[in-house]
């Protein structure tokens, strides 16, 4: 009996070796696709906003299965939130992730002398197979809600509520196609 087992023992590793490569995702023949990194880019539409913005509070949602790296309390981890090129250096940019509702909340503020327009934040997300970059951008743009926006009146430099007048531009890009940005967390 031991002799038969010794001679047939090669069959089990051979069978596993033939069956498992198809399940590993290491080939292009039906393997499992890996998740990928994308960024949701948020910008103020400079043509719709006549007064430079000093502070924002906004939310947006992402599609089912998309995640954002965050601590247990919801605060985004370092690198998940990147300041956009148009946001001044003396700013506050904070993000929170709520997995149950798939919602990201951003709060942005600058010193009174540092109001801005243009791209102010990039949120890095993990996108599962089956969710396109276009679907990510569409869901984020559709669900983007401006909770509050403030600016400075050009003549008096006093605070001015801008919430109804501010227009957002929300897009999504594959991380490989982006460069630059300064991690803020």
Domain boundaries, the chain: 34-175
What does each C-alpha distance from 150 to 7, 64, 146 come to in angstroms? 79, 32, 11
Look up the pTM and report it: 0.73
Residue 183's pLDDT band (cuts 50, 70, 90): very low
- Residues with Cβ < 8 Å from 44, sequence gap 6 or more? 53, 116, 117, 118, 120, 166, 167, 168, 169
Q: What is the predicted pLDDT for the residue at 15? A: 38
Element (H, E) at 110: strand 103-110
pLDDT digits (tens, 9 = 90+) for 110-168: 776 666 778 889 999 999 999 999 999 999 999 999 898 888 777 777 777 887 778 88
Residue 1's pLDDT band (cuts 50, 70, 90): very low
pLDDT digits (tens, 9 = 90+) for 26-57: 334 345 578 899 999 999 876 666 677 888 99
Element (H, E) at 138: helix 133-143
Residue 60's pLDDT band (cuts 50, 70, 90): very high
Pairing of strands 168-174, 36-44: antiparallel
Tokens of 53: 């913005």
Closest of 58, 53, 59 to residue 161, by C-alpha: 53
Q: What is the predicted pLDDT for the residue at 38? A: 95
Q: Answer yes or no: CATH 2.60.40 is held by domain 34-175.
A: yes
Residue 12 has pLDDT above 50, yes or no: no
pLDDT digits (tens, 9 = 90+) for 63-112: 999 999 999 999 999 899 999 888 887 788 999 999 999 999 999 987 76
143-177 CB burial, b ≥16 within 10 A, e <16: bbebeebbbbeeeeeeebebeeebebebbbeebee
Q: What is the predicted pLDDT for the residue at 128? A: 95
Q: What is the mean pLDDT of the chain?
A: 78
What is d(CA 81, CA 153) in angstroms, rounded to the nearest whole number? 29
Closest of 132, 129, 141, 127 to residue 169, by C-alpha: 141
């Amino acid at each position: 009996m031991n002799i038969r087992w010794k001679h047939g023992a090669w069959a089990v590793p051979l069978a596993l070796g033939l069956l498992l490569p198809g399940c590993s995702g290491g080939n292009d023949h039906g393997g499992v696709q890996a998740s990928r990194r994308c960024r949701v880019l948020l910008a103020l539409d400079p043509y719709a906003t006549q007064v430079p913005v000093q502070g924002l509070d906004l939310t947006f949602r992402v599609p089912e299965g998309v995640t954002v790296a965050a601590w247990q309390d919801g605060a985004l981890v370092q690198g998940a939130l990147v300041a956009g090129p148009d946001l001044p250096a003396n700013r506050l940019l904070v993000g929170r992730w709520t997995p149950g509702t798939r919602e990201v909340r951003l709060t942005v503020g600058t010193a009174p002398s540092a109001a801005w327009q243009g791209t102010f934040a990039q949120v890095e997300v993990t996108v599962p197979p089956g969710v396109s970059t276009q679907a990510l951008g569409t869901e984020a743009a559709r669900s983007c809600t401006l909770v509050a926006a403030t600016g400075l009146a050009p003549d008096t430099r006093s605070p001015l509520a801008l919430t109804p007048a501010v227009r957002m531009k929300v897009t999504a890009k594959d991380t490989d196609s982006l460069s630059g940005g300064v991690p803020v967390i």
